[in-house]
Amino acid sequence: MAITSIRNLFVKYLPSFSCAAYDTSYIDTLQGEARRLCGHFLNSLRIPGTVRDHKIADPDNNQIIAIKVGDSFTRISVNGSDYYFNRLTGKYEGKGTGCF
């Protein structure tokens, strides 16, 4: 029973695919897995992720998406509708239209 549960942990958290099949080196695979495990750990502690200011123009859907990081809030704007998230907690705070 214990051996099966330990094996399941290894299968879940360690790379289970061949590096040769994806033409990546073993080091690249380990770096990706370390990044994923670090993200999993930070998510389990409920630490919010970081975002930088960015603007995306999607020609397929004719949408403009803008991300703006302020002192207290992060604003995500989609076609003029603004969505505000607390900068420290990542919690959704509200919606506005063209407020910035």
Specify the pTM.
Answer: 0.57
Q: Domain spans of the chain?
A: 2-44, 54-97
> How would you label 73-85 residue by residue, b for 16+ Cβ within 10 Å and e otherwise?
bbbebeeeebebb
| pLDDT given for residue 17 in this prediction | 47
pLDDT means per 10 residues in the chain (100 residues)? 58 52 75 86 83 90 91 89 88 78
| pLDDT given for residue 4 in this prediction | 61
| pLDDT given for residue 55 in this prediction | 93
Nearest to 85 by CA among 54, 57, 49: 49
| pLDDT given for residue 80 in this prediction | 85
